[in-house]
Structure 1
Amino acid sequence: MDSLNYLYGFGNEHQTEALTGALPIGQFSPQRCPYNLYAEQFSSTAFTAPRATNRRSWTYRLRPSVAQLGFRAYPLEGLKTAPLNLVTPPDPMRWDPLPLPSEPTDFIHGITTIAVNGNADAQHGVAVHLYVANQSMNSRVFSCADGELLLVPQHGSLHLDTEFGQLQLAPGEIAVIPRGVKFRVQLLDDSSRGYLCENYGAALELPERGPVGANGYANDRDFQYPQAWFEDNDTPHQLITKFAGHCYLTELPFSPFDVVAWTGNSAPYKYDLSRFNVINTVSFDHPDPSIFTVLTSPSDGAGWANLDFVIFPPRWMVAENTFRPPWYHRNVMSELMGLIEGQYDAKQHGFSPGGTSLHNCMTPHGPEAEVFAKASNDTLAPQRYQDTMAFMFESRYRFTPTEWAMQTPLKQSDYANCWNNISKLFDQNDKI
């Protein structure tokens, strides 16, 4: 499917030009740029952020971004922003997948927020949205000033046009669009469905490997950035911008995808989740899910993430004398899970691809009774978990489900019943 060329390396200083010689040499903002382009810096961190975390790119474009008309309000009813002043019960919750649309719906109009936490204005926390679409955005463009966007397709492949170039995305891959970058989503299949995480906090980065050493987890080399690509046309476009929790629209008499060249380390990127090098136990006990972290948004508490993006991909389970599924637990972190394909190993029924579950801070959760019984009595030969991909948005902040999420018939009212048939097994005479 993917016929585009990419630049490789997470957070690298890339340089790319769609016209030879479009990048200035030796400086970023000469008196006159090659081809009479405009130089424009794009900064997604503060100017004075430390070099290791500073993210900025220089773009060379047909028109500067300031060449746009005023905005007018453009409500998108399904799109919500933190904080929400709603009551959240401590129950475990689960939702069926959003049905694919029957009416013409593009990506931006197919977004529905399921839960939020933190505060967008205070720049901490996240919002988790679901999306469905059955038509391309075409001349409609979107940008989000409230946070960077992590896109996780579950059904249907996508083509992303961005200011920095083009990306193609299939289920099993993810893309990250930095805060403020303009993009549009074109469908490569008849329909698409997936998840969208809006990160208000620090930009996503690769987690430290610690004692694992120099290799493993997600490797820098496997992250793909777009080559420069541009449109030189005067076709009218609609630009929808999300700003301070509200959406606004302006009309552009030209395509905003007019960056002829760029250089820097802040740009959209994609990652194929099958390239994640799983580190797992080869002795005993189920490891903490943090060992499956692909990307993290740190907070001001060391090791206490604003957001961790964690996956549960195909892998071998070989632990000896061990209950292999995730153990029963209560966690100070809040966990919102999705399923891309297959079956999650702690669940037998009800958690379908495209579905969502929420276990907030200190809400107990774990395997269903059937899963517990089977895992407690299995012959512990090496076992391959295959044809499965689940993921988790984990955050130090409690998730508040939206009003829609609490009222939709997609919410499984009987979810907690999956633990009702867990019985006492205690036997003073059975020491195993």
Structure 2
Amino acid sequence: MTSQTRPDGDDSVRTLPAVQGNAVPGNNVGSVRPVPHKPKVQAAPVGRRLPLPALLVMALMGFILIATETMPAGLLPQIAAGLNVAEGTAGQLVSAYALGTVVLTIPAIALTRGMRRKPVFLVGILGFLLANTVAAFSADIVLTLAVRFAAGAFSGLLWGMLAGYARRITAPELAGRALAIASIGTPLGLALGTPLGSWLGSTFDWRWSFWALTGLAILTLVLAWLLVPDAPGQSAETQIPMVKVFAIPGVSVILVVIFAWMLAHNTVYTYIASYLRSANIPLGVDVALVVFGVSALVGIWITGALIDRAPRLLVLASLSVFLTAGVIFFLGAHSLVAVLIALILWGVAFGGAAPQLQTAISEASGENADVANSLLGVAFNVAIFFAGVLGAVLISSFDGMVLPILMIGLAATALVIAFTARHAAFPAHK
């Protein structure tokens, strides 16, 4: 028996049988003819440590994406005055961004899923940077809406690829933790990015908020160029039609859970001011959102510590805590302490939602993880769109106390679906 080290850098030993009488010119004894072996091509060898600098760059990009999406909502009067339009028209900057994400994410991912990851990542950042730069200059509402639509499209591309990219550059046993680190920008964007953008735009000028986002995007582009390793795209032989990704066992179930969970979250988050007014407690919206955001950081830390060991249990626990927060919001509405506890539980439960759901859909879809994660991004944004409409209808017909009732109902639905989907979607054994 003869052993040979694989040429792709894998230190496992490959044993080849000796071939008796194998003709080799000038040699009368039996010899070994090595079996041809094509090296595995991968620009960034996966080590046993987390590629922390690269993951933090991805987290920074996530922070920028969330801050860009939500920032105009806190500056509608200033933007409306600056563009000489009504506040309702200025509010369409948020809708245009979401529409770009919903409409163009899936085609963008389908077009790029076979390409190497780093060039796609850099192009996505550059496109996003240019869209924010034009928005900062623009004095025309039509142009501003157009570039917000484009920014949403680039956002969808980046969200769709980041989960798979983070997993590709990380050892499999650390993939969940890597995804949790790469996703930390989401709660940070909600907790810090949106309030800071609103403060900057209110204190100076709303265009300064866009300029700040442009500066951060430039920094991210440079850091991505220097620190993020390349990785291959999806091989052609594993690519299946986009429609068939829905049929992969578990994918459609996970998307239903995402939609129900995010619809509940975004409806309450968007109209939290209405709930606080109905509760009649001395708690401002800004303080409530900071409590939520800080708690979300705790949630993502817990997720990072446990997701590689107990992903199913983590999803069920998060949904249960989210449901409990809704119950406390309803039953303890007139108690400041109770509402603060509910805010903390809500933040902890939601903080790890993105990496938990991205891990679940990535595991279920395998090689088609980029496409599946683009569907996840679309489900998120469709939920955001419907949350705005549904919340507006509810609070115009009832008071803010209807919001925790909606939260309870949708959370319970998502929990039951996740609990019963123990095979492909949220398997009992990883």
TM norm structure 2 = 0.25
Higher strand share: 1
Higher helix share: 2
